[in-house]
């Protein structure tokens, strides 16, 4: 008998086709940045279509620790940042959630001082923040990093950051978001060149503009922000989660099923849809917000992750799961993060034939996967293992659900709704 502690796990009985429709939740990564953005406003902000996720709750705790009052009604959250006083984000929360570092820009630009612990690395890479820091320095912040904390303050008597021309060495999503937020209340114009173009950047800019900010160019590589002296309250709806939507499209493809994926934004899914079609699964646009998967014979295709509008790194693991049973050899190359191929070892436990060299994986399609116990190594890797389990013969047990629960709202209920044989075992004894 094993003496390890029981852990929650998902049990999947594979090779059942899916049918029906699944509704996509609000985008985790948009919601996280926009929650930080509520700190910019002196008045109430209301966000709807908020996903119910561990990461979102952690970000809520970060804001609460800074003095923000939060009221939740279903998927609508109200933020009252009038009593924002604390300038220091707590280490125990920031270390759990890297995105909580994004509060540095809004706190600094509102209060003139911000102290945020360095978030540290995570399962997929070292994840430095020097681009965020350099952007704030260019706007006149004085930044001292000591004892693991980034201490930023605004120089000069005005207490306001100053607009600046900022060129990002790399189109970092987080750094672009930090600079946008800091620049909304800065004095004068900020221009970000080589900015990230992800849909979540556009969502953040639209949210800030709905509060009276003056941001143009979001979604292109040059973003211009005219600083304003204050922002007003707003009511804003978070965009659909393109990564969750893409994950369900892959689930349809790998199980050779026709499913409807609803509440999506088509434009945000173009890179994933193009790749699915290349692999052999057709994706029909039923209407503005609904897609239908039409199964087909799966064939190999190369994947290289890139900043948007390239293929998203957050979909790499799920597509690798699909390619394991696609006929032929596929080369999957990860260029965004340095350590994002850890799911390979687990996919191999399910019978996949994959060889890794550097940041590339050669996936040689096999006719079928076979169920086995596997361990999730990070958020998107856990989704990849669930998807692989849906196609594998027999029983797959996915452990390490703390990763999955960070970023997928009710994944197993949504899959059950599509007819998948999946259940959560609350006390799985390995
Ligand atoms: C965001 C997403 C994450 C996604 C990633 C890339 C959130 C909450 N998370 O993360 O799901 O995988 O975009 O699409 O929105 N880098 C530096 N220096 C910096 C900042 C980043 O070298 O100062 C590097 C990172 O180490 C990484 C690359 O840039 O190799 C991309 O990171 P970035 O775009 O910043 O990702 P995040 O904003 O952390």
Q: What is the pLDDT of residues 253-295, one digit of tens each?
A: 999 999 999 999 999 999 999 999 999 999 999 999 999 999 9
Q: What is the mean pLDDT of residues 306-324?
A: 98
Lookup: tokens for 233: 């309250």
Measure Cα distances from 425 to 8, 139, 171, 374 in Å.
Answer: 6, 51, 41, 14
Range with the largest mean pLDDT of 80-89, 155-164, 211-220, 374-383: 211-220
Q: Which atom of ligand 1 is nearest to the CA of 307?
A: 14
pLDDT at 173 over 90: yes
pLDDT at 121: 59
Say if residue 1's pLDDT is above 60: no
pLDDT mean over 326-349: 95
Confidence label for 320 from pLDDT (cuts 50, 70 and 90)? very high
Percent of the chain that is helix, strand, coil (3-state, to 5): 35, 30, 35
Cβ atoms 87, 152 nearer than 8 A: no
Cα 127 to middle of ligand 1, angstroms: 7
Lining residues, ligand 1, CB within 6 Å: 29, 32, 98-99, 125, 127-132, 170, 172-175, 196, 200, 313-314, 336-337
Q: What is the pLDDT of residues 356-389, one digit of tens each?
A: 999 999 999 999 999 999 999 899 999 999 999 9
Comparison of pLDDT for 82 and 243, the residue scoring more: 243
The CA-based angle 101-108-137, given to 5 degrees, is 85
Q: What is the pLDDT, as a whole number, of residue 339?
A: 85
Number of the ligand 1 atom closest to the C-alpha atom of 312:
14
Distance (Å, rounded) from C-alpha 300 to C-alpha 46? 45
Q: Which residue, 300, 305, 351, 307, is CA-closest to 176?
A: 307
Q: What is the pLDDT of residue 71?
A: 97
Q: What is the pLDDT of residue 122?
A: 66
* Chain-centre distance for alpha carbon 143: 27
User: Which pair of tokens denotes residue 260?
Assistant: 């409807």
Q: Which two tokens stand for residue 27?
A: 């985008």
Q: What is the mean pLDDT of the chain?
A: 95
Is 208 catalytic? The answer is: no
What pLDDT, on a 0 to 100 scale, did the predictor assign at position 3?
A: 62
Q: Quick one: pLDDT at residue 156?
A: 75
Q: How far apart are CA 343 and CA 357, in angstroms?
A: 14
How much is the pLDDT for 28? Answer: 97
- Closest listed residue to residue 213, CA positions, set 175, 172, 182: 182
Mutation probe of ligand 1 site: the residue of 172, 199, 268 with most atoms within 8 A of C-beta: 172
Rounded to whole angstroms, the Cα distance separating 251 from 316 reads 14
pLDDT given at position 362: 98
Query: What is the pairing mode between strands 258-262 and 290-294?
Result: antiparallel
b/e code 207-241 from CB counts within 10 Å (16+ = b): bbbbbbbebebbbeeebbbebbeebebbebbbbbb
Residue 3 in 3-state DSSP?
coil
The CA distance from 349 to 371, in Å, is 8
Ligand 1: which residue has its CA nearest to atom 36? 173
User: What mean pLDDT comes out for the span 210-225?
Assistant: 98
Active-site residue, from 45, 52, 122, 364: 122
The pLDDT score that the predictor gives to residue 82 is 87
- As a whole number of angstroms, the distance between CA 177 and CA 223 comes to 11
Half-sphere exposure of residue 311: CA atoms within 13 angstroms, side-chain side: 21
Contact 181, 102 (CB under 8 A): yes
> Averaged over 99-126, what is the pLDDT?
86
pLDDT value of residue 155? 80
Phi, psi of 79 (to 5 degrees): -115, 130
Taking residues 138-154, what's their average pLDDT? 94
From atom 19 of ligand 1, which residue's Cα is the shortest distance away? 129
DSSP run (H or E) holding 261? strand 258-262
pLDDT at 120 (0 to 100) = 64
Atom of ligand 1 nearest to the CA of 196: 34
Atom of ligand 1 nearest to the CA of 337: 30
Contact between residue 101 and residue 114 where contact means Cβ atoms under 8 Å apart: no
What pLDDT, on the 0 to 100 scale, is given for residue 124?
65
Q: What's the pLDDT at 2?
A: 55
Residue 312 has pLDDT above 80, yes or no: yes
Radius of gyration of the chain (CA): 22
Signed CA dihedral, 384, 340, 330, 285: sign only: positive
Residue 258: count other Cβ atoms within 10 Å of its Cβ.
Answer: 16
Q: What is the pLDDT of residue 338?
A: 87
């Amino acid at each position: 008998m094993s003496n390890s502690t029981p852990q929650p796990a998902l049990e999947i009985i594979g090779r059942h086709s899916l049918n029906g429709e699944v509704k996509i939740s609000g985008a985790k990564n948009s919601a996280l940045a926009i929650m930080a953005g509520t700190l910019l406003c002196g008045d109430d902000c209301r966000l709807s279509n908020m996903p119910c996720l561990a990461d979102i709750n952690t970000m809520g705790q970060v804001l609460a620790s800074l003095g923000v009052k939060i009221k939740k009604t279903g998927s609508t959250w109200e933020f009252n940042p009038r009593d924002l006083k604390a300038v220091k984000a707590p280490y125990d929360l920031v270390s759990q959630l890297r995105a909580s570092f994004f509060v540095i820009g809004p706190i600094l630009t509102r209060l003139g001082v911000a102290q945020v612990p360095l978030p540290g690395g995570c399962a997929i890479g070292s994840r430095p923040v020097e681009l965020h820091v350099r952007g704030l320095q260019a706007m006149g912040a004085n930044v001292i990093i000591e004892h693991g904390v980034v201490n930023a303050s605004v120089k000069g008597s005005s207490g306001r950051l100053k607009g600046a021309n900022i060129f990002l060495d790399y189109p970092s999503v987080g750094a672009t978001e930090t600079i946008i937020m800091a620049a909304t209340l800065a004095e004068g114009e900020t221009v970000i060149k080589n900015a990230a173009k992800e849909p979540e950047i556009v969502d953040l800019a639209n949210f800030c503009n709905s509060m009276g900010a003056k941001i143009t160019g979001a979604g292109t590589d040059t973003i211009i922000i005219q600083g304003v002296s204050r922002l007003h309250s707003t009511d804003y709806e978070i965009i659909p989660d393109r990564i969750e939507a893409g994950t369900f499209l892959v689930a349809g493809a790998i199980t050779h099923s026709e499913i409807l994926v609803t509440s999506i934004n088509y434009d945000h899914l173009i890179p994933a849809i193009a790749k699915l079609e290349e692999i052999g699964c057709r994706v029909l646009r039923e209407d503005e917000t609904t897609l239908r998967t039409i199964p087909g014979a799966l064939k190999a295709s190369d994947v290289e992750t890139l900043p948007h509008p390239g293929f998203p790194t957050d979909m790499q693991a799920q597509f690798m799961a699909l390619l394991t049973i696609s006929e032929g050899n596929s080369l999957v190359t990860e260029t965004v993060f340095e350590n994002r191929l850890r799911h390979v070892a687990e996919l191999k436990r399910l019978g996949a034939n994959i060889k890794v060299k550097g940041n590339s994986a050669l996936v040689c399609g096999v006719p079928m996967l076979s169920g086995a116990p596997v361990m999730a190594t990070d958020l998107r890797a856990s989704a990849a293992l669930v998807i692989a389990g849906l196609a594998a013969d027999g029983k797959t047990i996915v452990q390490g659900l703390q990763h999955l629960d960070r970023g997928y709202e009710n994944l197993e209920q949504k899959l059950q709704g599509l007819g998948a044989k999946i259940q959560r075992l609350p006390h799985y004894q390995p």
